[in-house]
Amino acid sequence: MARSRINNTTDDLITDGGAVLWSFVKGEQLELPIKLDFIADATIGYSYEAVVMEAANIEGQQQTQRPISVQSNGVEDTLVVRVPTYRGTWDPPQAYNKEEVVLYNGTYYKLLNGAARINSTAPNLDPLWEETALNRIYVQFPETLANNWAVNPLVNSPVYGFFELRVTEPANPVFVKTWKPVRGMVEILFSPTHLVP
């Protein structure tokens, strides 16, 4: 059997959809969903770590001049990753809370609003339930992100950090796998409301 030369790569056995750019106005506080296509159920013991490292920003840099290195002694932020609570098969007499997930007729639904809500209307007919998936997690970006960075954004000059999400499977007697499915940059834009007391 003929063999390819080792440096003649033709197959990418681990594909990469590309890096992300999260863009925030300074002081925004948002929770953003990430769907993990490589696992079926994100609620069963996986561990999650999301971080942002301050980039070596230069005052007055343009969007086309994104930093290519990490800030020396820069700020490192660990972000909260929220995994929705899965409550099993929908049961009308049960009380459900906002963001809890149920299974109804083979489809997963999350409750959009309410606390200890009891309602006999099925999730597929109730506007307070929305279709979802069990492999969806949520990364929380706090309003304090970039507050202590060496360079602040200016009107026409954003600042950047490097983002990565790590997912580690539960204990496995054979080999515990770890994935890093989302990587990229966080862009922080100028905000007048952040500066005005």
CATH number of 20-83+134-195: 2.60.40
**Distance between CA atoms of residues 16 and 19, nearest Å:** 8
One pLDDT digit (tens) per residue for the chain, 197 residues: 667 777 777 777 777 778 899 999 999 999 999 999 999 999 999 999 999 999 999 998 887 889 999 999 999 999 999 999 999 999 999 999 999 999 999 999 999 999 999 999 999 999 999 999 999 999 999 999 999 999 999 999 999 999 999 999 998 889 999 999 999 999 999 999 988 87
Burial of 167 (0-12, 13-18, 19+ CB in 10 A): buried
C-alpha count within 13 angstroms, C-beta hemisphere, residue 40: 0
Q: What is the DSSP letter of 85?
A: P
The pLDDT value given to residue 9: 72
Q: Would the pTM of this model clear 0.75, i.e. be above it? A: yes
Domain boundaries, the chain: 20-83+134-195
